């Protein structure tokens, strides 16, 4: 008998409970359909966000963090950022507290979706985004505050920087350790999955000692730990994973006109945020984009879209982001048949153009259904 796996879950805010309910049903059905050997998922709820605040007075209870520190698998819906309180962002707080340093987002086209680009079917990329450093570290000070003036005065007087003391100011920390462990995970994925290349996406032509260092450290890591299975673009060797780099703004153009030339992207935090959303727009939007935040011990799957408060409670949301997160989770634990069942069901239902409103507005002759009905169609397709 196969071991059952515990998945800790946070429903999320806004449309979170709606999409999570559907996703859980589909994920469990895929496992049940694919196996008869007793394997399955045991779901254990944790509190965070508005539900947690209502029940405990805290948006991120310590009990939730303690449970996640020893967890292997977790999943959450979208969480709102509190308007007031000490947490800048619940998502960022979770990533930093749990050292979820790699945000991994596969972006792939599903047949039937109509796209603003000519060849969305050529998009098949996995973005590895560093998740704990860069400007997302949250080290910034409001303009004209004593803290901002003190830091700016130091930069001007001690470091010789030309800065306006009336400016708001932020700090962009990027480390060799953080950059190399992210690139390592991207290369390991490319090797394991037979991908042809890993592209380091950076703005090192301008930010030479942060993003330029990310590029340098990435090449160093590849040469030191993967010399037998990788090569550079300049010295391409058949059968080896090519390590290359692109300036971030140029990569946006490449993603539009030559997506087939890129398979795995490794990026600093901000670049990864931008490029993964832009790629998702080419294949149906964030409602079709799954993702996982990973440490060395925890895989924490999350919807990549927001809480969509304007449609919350109206049964209009697209559950595919979390449904496809479920497929990623099942792949991660080695239950490939169940993951394939989910992908096949999504392909079948979208191919018939009976979809939620976000997809229907992008497709000709589509029939609009609600979140629950879309989930029912996925279950029937399995």
Q: How confident is the model at residue 292 (pLDDT cuts 50, 70, 90)?
A: very high
pLDDT at residue 84, rounded to an integer: 55
pLDDT at residue 114, rounded to an integer: 84
Q: Kindly report, residue by residue over 301-321, the tens digit of the pLDDT.
A: 999 899 999 999 999 999 999
**Overall average pLDDT of the 316-338 stretch:** 96
Q: Residue 88: pLDDT above 90?
A: no
Q: Kindly report, residue by residue over 108-145, the tens digit of the pLDDT.
A: 998 888 888 889 999 999 999 999 999 988 899 999 99
Backbone angles phi, psi at 264, to 5 degrees: -125, 130
pLDDT at residue 249, rounded to an integer: 96
Q: Residue 212: pLDDT above 70?
A: yes
| DSSP, residue by residue, 103-149 | EEEEEE--TT---SSS-GGG-EEEEEEE-SSGGGG--EE-TTSHHHH
**Overall average pLDDT of the 176-180 stretch:** 98
Domain boundaries, the chain: 1-107+289-381, 115-134+172-283
Name the CA radius of gyration of the chain, rounded.
22
Q: Residue 284: pLDDT above 90?
A: no
Binding-site members for NADP(+) are 318
Asked whether this chain's domains 1-107+289-381 and 115-134+172-283 adopt the same fold, the reply is: yes
Q: Which residues are catalytic?
A: 136, 203, 249, 273
Q: Which of 378, 295, 279 is nearest to 29 (CA)?
A: 378
Q: Using an 8 Å Cβ cutoff, are 371 and 356 in contact?
A: yes
Tokens linked to 30? 């895929």
Binding-site members for Mg(2+) are 273
Q: Kindly report, residue by residue over 39-63, the tens digit of the pLDDT.
A: 999 999 999 999 999 999 999 999 9
Domain at 115-134+172-283: CATH architecture: 3-Layer(aba) Sandwich (3.40)
Which position has the higher pLDDT, 166 or 116?
A: 166
Q: Kindly report, residue by residue over 7-30, the tens digit of the pLDDT.
A: 999 999 999 999 999 999 999 999
pLDDT at residue 286, rounded to an integer: 84
pLDDT at residue 2, rounded to an integer: 61
The span from the CA of 93 to the CA of 81, in Å, is: 11
**Overall average pLDDT of the 253-260 stretch:** 95
Name the percent of the chain lying above pLDDT 70: 98
pLDDT at residue 85, rounded to an integer: 54
Name the percent of the chain lying above pLDDT 90: 88
Binding-site members are 89, 91, 95, 105, 129, 273, 318
pLDDT at residue 274, rounded to an integer: 94
Q: Which fold, 1-107+289-381?
A: Isopropylmalate Dehydrogenase (3.40.718)
Half-sphere exposure of 360 (CA within 13 A, CB side): 15
pLDDT at residue 285, rounded to an integer: 86
State the burial class of residue 146 (Cβ atoms within 10 Å of its Cβ: 0-12, 13-18, 19+).
exposed
């Amino acid at each position: 008998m196969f071991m059952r796996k515990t998945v800790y879950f946070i429903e999320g805010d806004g449309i979170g409970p709606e999409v999570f309910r559907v996703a859980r049903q589909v994920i469990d059905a895929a496992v049940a359909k694919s196996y008869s050997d007793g394997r399955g998922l045991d779901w254990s709820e944790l509190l965070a966000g508005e539900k947690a605040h209502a029940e405990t007075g805290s948006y991120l209870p310590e009990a939730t963090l303690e449970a996640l520190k020893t967890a292997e698998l977790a999943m959450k819906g979208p969480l709102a950022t509190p308007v007031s309180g000490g947490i800048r962002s619940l998502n960022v707080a979770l990533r930093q507290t749990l050292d979820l340093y790699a945000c991994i987002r596969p972006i792939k086209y599903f047949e039937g979706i109509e796209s603003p680009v000519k060849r969305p079917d050529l998009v098949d990329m996995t973005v590895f985004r560093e998740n704990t450093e860069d400007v997302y570290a949250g080290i910034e000070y409001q303009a004209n505050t004593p803290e901002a003036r003190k830091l700016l005065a130091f930069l001007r007087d001690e470091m010789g920087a030309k800065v306006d003391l009336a400016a708001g100011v932020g700090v962009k920390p990027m480390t060799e350790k953080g950059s190399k462990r992210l690139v390592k995970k991207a290369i390991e994925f490319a090797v394991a999955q037979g991908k042809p290349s890993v592209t380091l996406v950076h703005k090192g032509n301008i930010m030479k000692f942060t993003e330029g260092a990310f590029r340098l450290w990435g090449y160093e890591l590849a040469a030191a730990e993967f010399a037998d299975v990788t090569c550079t673009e300049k010295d391409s060797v058949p059968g080896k994973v090519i390590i290359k780099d692109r300036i971030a703004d140029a990569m946006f153009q490449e993603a539009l006109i030559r997506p087939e030339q890129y398979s795995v992207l490794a990026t600093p935090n901000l670049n990864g945020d931008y490029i993964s959303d832009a790629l998702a727009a080419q294949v149906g939007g964030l409602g079709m984009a799954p993702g996982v935040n990973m440490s060395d011990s925890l895989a924490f799957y999350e919807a990549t879209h927001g809480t969509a408060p304007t449609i919350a409670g109206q049964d209009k949301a697209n559950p595919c982001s979390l449904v496809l997160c479920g497929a990623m989770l099942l792949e991660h634990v080695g239950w490939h048949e169940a993951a394939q069942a989910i992908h096949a069901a999504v392909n079948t239902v979208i191919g018939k153009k009976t979809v939620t409103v976000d997809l229907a507005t992008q497709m000709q002759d589509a029939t609009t259904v609600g979140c629950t009905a879309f989930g029912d169609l996925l279950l029937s397709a399995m």
